[in-house]
A and B are shown apart, each in its own frame.
Chain A
Amino acid sequence: MSVDVTTVISNLWPLLHATSNADVVSTSDAELTRLISDELRKVSRTYGCFIARDTTSIIFVSGTPIYNAPPDHLSTLHIAYNGKPLTPTTTFELEALDPNYLTTAANGSKGPVQNWYSDKNGPNLIGFYPVPAAADVGLSPEVIYHIMPCGIDEAHTQTIINAPAFFGDYLEIKAMADSYRKESDLQMPEVAKTLDQLAALYEEIMKSLWGMSQ
């Protein structure tokens, strides 16, 4: 099952006293799309419900320790290479272990690639230790990670969110709450408050059923 943003928005029109984008007051299709997209990011980072597995994006290059994370990467859950999980570590620990951790080549005295790290490099970069060497060139580690679906756009070229149907209801609630909260002719704070609480209920359920499963 998946959620189509255009369906979510068309369900919102009557709830916003409108029949379409043409007669809606104080909001628009584009604005609702942006609200939905922003909520999607918030839920992704808060509850970690969206997960992907990537085995092709990172391609080892000899002597390169740090690589771009796979697309839409939010945070890393798990990395394996050559069928074995790599151990997450920090640059602080690596510095203590090997002051030359940024250059120490794999498959030498330190053995094959066995650690990954993502601190001190900036966001969405993943480092490997020992540094991939000639034998690793062209090979890819497997990365399982939280993703942040961010392709939802106002032009509706990307409208599908891979999530159960109830998630569409949740997005409706959040977009509706924001629409009724903002200062406009449509403003009704009590409606926004009720919707916020309703959304909080969905969030508690998501936390309960999916938040701990990783």
Chain B
Amino acid sequence: VADFTATVGGTVTPVGTIPHLTLGLAVTGSVGPAGVVPPPFLGVPDGGTVTPSGVVTVTIIDVAAGRVAPTGAVSASITGHNITDVESGTVSPTGAVVVSLSGIKVAGTVTPTGQVRVDSCANTLYELLVRLYERLDDPGPAAPVYYRKADAVHALNVANRLFVLLTLCIERTATFNLVNGQPFYRVADQITDFLVPLRVSSGGVRIRADRLHDLDGRDASWRNKAGSPERYAQAGFGEQGVLAVTKQPSVGVNTLTVTYAATPSALVNDSDTTEVPDEHQPALVDFAFLWCRLKEGGQELANAVEYLKKFLDDAQKYAQFVRAKSKGQLYDNVPYDLTSFDRSKFDLKLTKMKPQKLTARDLK
């Protein structure tokens, strides 16, 4: 359970107030005599216990919501996070306590005596940071000592982008508008997170991937051929490259349906989550650990290389799944085959420094 734990504090009576600490955002809600804390949330294990007269400990990532027992004390403290604002909420005989941060709701169940467990698997950026700082043996993202939070966030973003690049795991489908009679387009004009095309269709009919050179070879007049699109060629980096389409529609409003591998959005806010599959998110921490340790060099780096290999193992496993799936669907691009990459080259052989023998002259 991760990012930080929040013990929401205050007195609960049939009617009362809950003072809280939160992340600087308004926290409001009500507490009912007995009931449910819908905790939350985006995949963050969220837990706590409620007794009729007791303490509610809630692990909050972004938002916590729920109802608290009829009478009792609710005390709150949030640790592991740079929280200074004090917020308050309303407790009434019946109702719900809703703690919301950044518009993300944390939901769970609270019984008069019991534990709140949230069954979501996605890690927020903050949770990933906590894991990374634990591995780095640094106090944490709230009060880092050796690694600035911004640097750790960057490390996780590099990991996120590399994992997605290795596996092409983010797949999107978008509509691409065609101009009648126009053979060339720039993907960036309509799709901003484009990496490589996977499948393109027009009017429900798939069109085939090709190369500019082959389009020339097939038909010298391909760029002036009226009709429904039959082939496309995409060359160059991501969305900045050239997209050629033949044939070119001449009448009406025409579009392509483009399924493509996308680049991930940057992780910025604590509540942001990655699009990497939940089960592979710990791999991001593995890579980020290496990234942070790079500047240490020596044995620290040699140790961190093992985590890099774990990251690559994870990526390979998922890339194989995506490859198989993509081949099954006859996609136009499949992820890079990581098995062909020699990982042993990452191994570091550090030279041991031999103690210098002192001679009698040195001792003089």
With beta carbons under 8 angstroms apart, the residue of B234, B242, B298 that contacts A190 is B298
B15 contacts the other chain (Cβ, under 8 Å)? no
> Of residues 41 to 87 in A, which have CB atoms within 8 Å of B's CB atoms?
49-53, 77-78, 80, 83-85
Least distance between B138 CB and chain A CB atoms (Å): 14
Given A50-B237, A164-B263: A83 and B212 within 8 A (CB)? no
Cβ contact within 8 Å between B235 and A213: yes
A163 touches B341 (CB 8 A): no
Do A191 and B294 touch (CB < 8 A)?
Answer: yes
- Is B236 interfacial (CB 8 A cutoff)? yes
Given contacts A49-B236, A190-B301, contact A165 B346 (CB under 8 A): no
A-B contact count, CB below 8 Å?
125
- Given the known interface contacts A84-B220, A169-B162, the answer about A144 and B263 at a Cβ–Cβ threshold of 8 Å is no
Stretch of A14-22, A89-97, A117-125 contacting B (4+ beta carbons < 8 Å) = A14-22
A51 to B240, CA, bound (A): 8
- A residues within 8 A CB of B341? 200-201, 204
Q: Contacts of B237 on A, CB cut-off 8 Å?
A: 49-51, 162-164, 167, 210
Give complex CA distance A191, B294 in Å: 6
Docked Cα-Cα span, A1 to B148, in Å, equals 26
Residues of A within 8 A of B204 (CB): none
Of the four ranges (under 10, 10 to 19, 20 to 34, 35 or more), the interface on chain A belongs to: 35 or more
Residues in A neighbouring B213, C-beta threshold 8 A: 77-78, 214
Is B236's CB under 8 angstroms from A210's CB? yes
| Chain B contacts with A in 304-342, Cβ cutoff 8 A | 305, 308, 333, 336-337, 340-341
In the docked arrangement, what's the CA distance between A144 and B210, Å?
Answer: 16
- Decide if B241 touches A51 in the complex (CB within 8 Å): yes
CB distance from B27 to the nearest CB of A (A): 34
Q: Indicate whether A188 reaches chain B with its CB closer than 8 angstroms.
A: yes
Inter-subunit contact A51/B235 (CB<8 Å): yes
Q: Mark A168-211, 1 if CB is under 8 A from B, else 0.
A: 01001000100010000000101101110110111011001110
If A14-B148, A83-B223, A163-B240 touch, whether A214 touches B295 (CB-CB below 8 Å) is no
Cβ B295 vs Cβ A191 within 8 A:
yes
- Docked-complex contact B294 and A144, CB < 8 angstroms: no
Which residue of the partner chain B has the closest CB to A172?
Answer: B158
B160-205 CB contacts (< 8 Å) to partner A? 161-162, 164-166, 184, 188, 192-193, 195-196
Q: Which residues of B contact A165 (CB under 8 A)?
A: 161, 263, 266
Contact of B294 among A15, A78, A214 (CB under 8 A): A15
Interface readout for A1-31 with B: 1 if CB under 8 Å, 0 if not? Answer: 1100000000100111100000000000000
CB atoms of B346 and A208 under 8 A apart: no
Q: List 19 A-B contacts (CB under 8 A).
A: A14-B148, A14-B151, A50-B237, A51-B236, A51-B240, A85-B216, A163-B238, A163-B240, A166-B164, A169-B161, A188-B297, A191-B295, A197-B346, A200-B345, A202-B165, A204-B340, A205-B336, A208-B336, A213-B234
Binding site for B on A (CB under 8 A): 1-2, 11, 14-17, 49-53, 77-78, 80, 83-85, 144, 162-167, 169, 172, 176, 180, 188, 190-191, 193-195, 197-198, 200-202, 204-205, 208-210, 213-214
